[in-house]
Amino acid sequence: MTRLRVGFAGTPDFAATILLNQINNPSLQDLVDWQLVISQPNRRVGRGRNLAPSAVSQVALERNMDLLTPQSLRGLDPASQSALEAVKRKHLDLLIVIAFGQILPAEVLALPRYGCINLHASLLPRWRGAAPIQRALQANDTQTGVCLMQMDEGLDTGPVWECASTAIDPLDNAQTLHDRLSELASGLLHSFLVRRPFETSLPRPQSAEGICYAKKIKAEERQCSFKATADQVYGLIRCLDPSPGASAELNGQPLKFGGVRLVERHGQWGRAGEIVALAEPHKGLVVACGSGALELGWLQRAGGSRLKAHDFQKGFGLRPGECFGSEGSIA
């Protein structure tokens, strides 16, 4: 069996973990020749705003892989055209695309012998778009997964090769689900590259039913209103946990919080946002919602450290009856 000439396009940790798992898997060494890595340009990060490579770029740099970091592959400017020519010269059999962050033009999609394969973190056609993990949590979905899709010019609209699913645990947050899906995706992609179904068969079209879109989380969505139902607040908090964190004001001070647990979906527990029970050593701070109540496991003041709810209330003297009062995005 001849080695596939494969390129990889991706940017964040999710993609980097999957790439690293493929590179380090000995069973692929005689099957895949990694020709090229494409990622987003270096971005300014942290308080110092220093330029830093993406997680995928870091993997490529550490392993001396050919790396492109174009601003775009769509432009007519010299830099974009130079990057496009570099891809052409690789004569790829396949381009694997995972959370790249740029829309690939038709010219790039048509370059590899077997086209471009996108690994998407949802069970398509549910949650097409930029933030499938967060939106699945916000909607309180009980199941999600990953799909390998043959790319076309639409937004996650191409036919699907294979999927793998996983249950969403009530205690999952964006990080735990992210990590589990990256491992699930690594196994799915490895099997796909070993079996090479694209050489002998065709993917299946996506269903026309159940289509929904996972828009990128906006800054204003991080503001949490406890006037919503406990289910809605629970979904919002855990989709933002651990980062960037949901927030609301308490006694005029902005707080971030997470580690949420649903206490009760229905019933009136007090005023919306009211602290109705203080935290115990192994239990969180109980807060009333528009209906129902939930428990917050950690809290953080602006510029402060993240503390368990029990430690936070001891340090800052929270009392029952105090009320989170900011207006939020889901009220």
What is the arithmetic mean of pLDDT over 161-176?
A: 98
What's the alpha-carbon Rg for the chain, to the nearest Å? 23
Q: What is the pLDDT of residue 201?
A: 97
Looking at residue 326, what is its pLDDT? 47
Peptide bond into 125 cis (omega under 30): yes
Taking the alpha carbons of 195, 154, 209, 232 in that order, is the dihedral positive or negative? positive
pLDDT at 91 over 70: yes
- pTM higher than 0.85 for the full model? yes
pLDDT at 331: 36
Please write the tens of the pLDDT for every residue from 48-64: 788 999 999 999 999 99
Strands (E), the chain: 4-10, 32-38, 43-45, 50-52, 67-68, 94-98, 116-120, 128-129, 143-150, 160-167, 213-214, 246-250, 253-258, 261-264, 275-277, 285-288, 293-296, 298-301, 307-308
With beta carbons less than 8 A apart as the criterion, state whether 7 and 112 touch. yes
Query: Percent of the chain beyond pLDDT 90?
Result: 89
**Whole-angstrom distance, CA of residue 278 vs CA of residue 246:** 20
pLDDT class of 44 with cuts at 50, 70, 90:
confident
> How many C-beta atoms lie closer than 10 Å to residue 77's C-beta?
11
Q: What is the pLDDT of residue 329?
A: 44
Strand partners, 201: none
> In this predicted model, what pLDDT tens digit does every residue of 232-276 receive, in sequence order?
999 999 999 999 999 999 988 999 999 999 999 999 999 999 999
pLDDT in tens, 292-328: 999 999 999 999 999 999 999 999 989 999 999 844 4
The pLDDT score that the predictor gives to residue 105 is: 93
Instruction: Compute the C-alpha angle 179/181/184, nearest 5°.
Output: 115
According to the model, what pLDDT value does residue 172 have? 98
Q: Name the residue among 185, 187, 183, 171 with its Cα closest to residue 238.
A: 171
Which pLDDT score, from 0 to 100, does residue 330 have? 41
The pLDDT value recorded for residue 25 is 96
Which residue segments constitute the domains of the chain, with CATH numbers given? 4-214 (3.40.50.170), 219-316 (3.10.25.10)
Task: Using the predicted structure, report yes or no on whether residue 151 has a pLDDT greater than 80.
Answer: yes
By the 8 A CB rule, do 6 and 96 touch?
A: yes
What residue type is 261 in one-letter code? R
Give me the pLDDT at residue 74, please.
86
For the sheet containing 261-264, what is the strand order? 261-264, 293-296, 285-288, 275-277
Residue 108, amino acid: V
pLDDT at 290: 96
41 Cβ contact list (under 8 Å, min separation 6): 69, 70, 71
As a whole number, the mean pLDDT across the chain is 94
68 band by pLDDT with thresholds 50, 70 and 90: very high
| Closest C-alpha among 156, 133, 321, 328 to residue 239 | 133
